[in-house]
Each structure stands twice: as C-alpha cells, then as structure tokens.
C-alpha cells in the first residue's frame, strides 16, 4: 500500500487505500472516495468501484464497494474532541467518528456510529415510543485480558435530521469521565473507574469513516461531510 495523506482542519490525516477488513470484506478502503470539496469540507464517500484482491493462501476476491476512511497521524490523549458532521444519505451506510488505541484494541470510544436503512433514513422508533435517530455511542475496553463493551445506545437529540444538517458531535475524555454531546446536548456519561482506568495512559487514533452495513448486496452512493475537527488537550 502506498501511503497517502490529506490536510484537513490544520492537521495531516492518513488516507487508507487498497486495504480491506479481512474478517468482513464487504468494502475496501478507497483513496478516491476521500476528497476536499470547494467549500473546504472533507467528503468521505461510498461508491461502486470493484477491485480484485489476492489474499495469501487463498483465492482472489472481488470487492465491489469502495469507501472513504482516514485517521489523524497524531497521537491523542485526554481532551475535547469535536467535529461538525452531516451524515451520508445512502442506503444502509454506516458512518462513524471514533477513537481507538494506537498500540492495541480495545480501547475504543465511539462518539458517533450511525445506521441508515433501505430508505436512506436514520429514523428509528423505540418501544416508548419516541422518535429517535439511529445514531449511537459506545465504549469498548479490556479488563484482565477480557474484552467488554458498554453497549451501543441510541439517543434523542432533537428533530434536526442529521443527514440534512451539520450536527456538532463532541467527546470530553478526562481521567474521571467520558462525556458525549450532540449539539451541546449531553447524551452519554461514563464514570465507572474500572473502564476509565483501563484507558489510563493510552494514546488514541482519531478516525473518520463512511462504511456499509453487513449483508448489503449493492454499492450505495453516499457522501459524508465533515466541516471541521478540533481538539483541545485536557
């Protein structure tokens, strides 16, 4: 793989290219699906772009969907992470804004994982019933060599459609808490010292990506727009 970079929000980002997730080859990371538009927005796409891969000791495989994925070349620790994002409008896409460890996985902090349906919609009805968006947070961690998750959780954060408007997604990660906000509205807080201590001293990658859901049988065309990313150390 030839290393590629892109400059965005006064930072250098690594562009993933000509790779795929070995355990779930539904898409490949495609540098042509990463662009800066005329307004200065970072655009991460999904599109049909078939490519053949030749795994070691296996038959060749063709992956039809190319997707955009980047991570910042910096190593991040405690602080405030913030991005203005407009979600992609494609069918069954899976955009995300997240952190994970440079040296191992977990830890992982999912500030945003969203899931559109076959109608390109993020609407979701829960049992209460209240209309919410299918936009989740999650945290993965390790205790005594066992991997755990606090569980994906959807949130109500107003009536503004996140695929039509930019929403501000914020993480405040401190030694004593993990707090996540959507448009300044608090949606999740984690204070369990076992979870927080498992991340103590970890250096994290910041990742932005547009992906597709498991089992999808077509190559959706979609565009995820990121207007800005900022980080303030704690």
| Rg, Å, the chain Cα set | 18
Locate 139 and state its tokens. 């945290």
Given this model, what pLDDT does residue 23 score?
A: 80
Given this model, what pLDDT does residue 131 score?
A: 65
Query: What would the pLDDT profile of 23-76 be if each residue is shown by its tens digit?
Result: 878 999 999 999 999 999 999 999 999 999 998 888 999 999 999 999 999 999
Given this model, what pLDDT does residue 126 score?
A: 64
Beta strand 222-233 with 61-67: parallel, antiparallel or unpaired? unpaired
Quote the mean pLDDT of the chain.
94
Matching residue, tokens 């992956």:
63
Given this model, what pLDDT does residue 57 score?
A: 86
Please report, in angstroms and rounded to a whole number, the separation of the first and last CA atoms in the chain: 35
**Which domains does the chain possess?**
4-233 (2.60.120.200)
Query: What would the pLDDT profile of 5-16 be if each residue is shown by its tens digit?
Result: 999 999 999 999
Rounded Cα distance between 218 and 186, Å, is 36
Query: What would the pLDDT profile of 76-113 be if each residue is shown by its tens digit?
Result: 999 999 999 999 999 999 999 999 999 999 999 999 99
Query: What would the pLDDT profile of 183-204 be if each residue is shown by its tens digit?
Result: 999 999 999 999 999 999 999 9
Query: What would the pLDDT profile of 205-228 be if each residue is shown by its tens digit?
Result: 999 999 999 878 889 999 999 999
Rounded Cα distance between 26 and 87, Å, is 20
């Amino acid at each position: 793989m030839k290393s590629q970079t892109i400059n965005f929000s006064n930072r250098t980002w690594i562009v993933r290219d000509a790779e795929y997730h070995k355990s779930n080859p539904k898409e490949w990371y495609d540098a042509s699906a990463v662009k800066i538009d005329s307004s200065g927005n970072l655009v991460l796409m999904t599109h049909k772009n078939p490519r053949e891969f030749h795994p070691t000791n296996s038959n060749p495989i063709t992956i039809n969907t190319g997707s955009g994925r980047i991570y910042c070349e910096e190593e991040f620790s405690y602080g405030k992470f913030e991005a203005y994002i407009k979600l992609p409008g494609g069918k069954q896409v899976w955009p995300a804004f997240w952190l994970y460890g440079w040296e191992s996985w977990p830890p992982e902090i999912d500030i945003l994982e969203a899931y559109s349906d076959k109608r390109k919609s993020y609407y979701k009805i829960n049992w209460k019933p209240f209309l919410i968006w299918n936009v989740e947070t999650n945290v993965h961690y390790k205790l005594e060599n066992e991997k755990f998750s606090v569980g994906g959780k959807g949130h109500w954060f107003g009536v503004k459609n996140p695929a039509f408007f930019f929403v501000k997604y914020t993480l405040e990660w401190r030694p004593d808490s993990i707090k996540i906000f959507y448009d300044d509205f608090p949606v999740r807080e984690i204070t369990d010292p076992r979870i927080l201590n498992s991340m103590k001293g970890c250096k994290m990658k910041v990742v932005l990506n547009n992906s597709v859901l498991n089992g999808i049988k077509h190559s959706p065309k979609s565009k995820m727009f990121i207007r800005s990313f900022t980080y303030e150390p704690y």
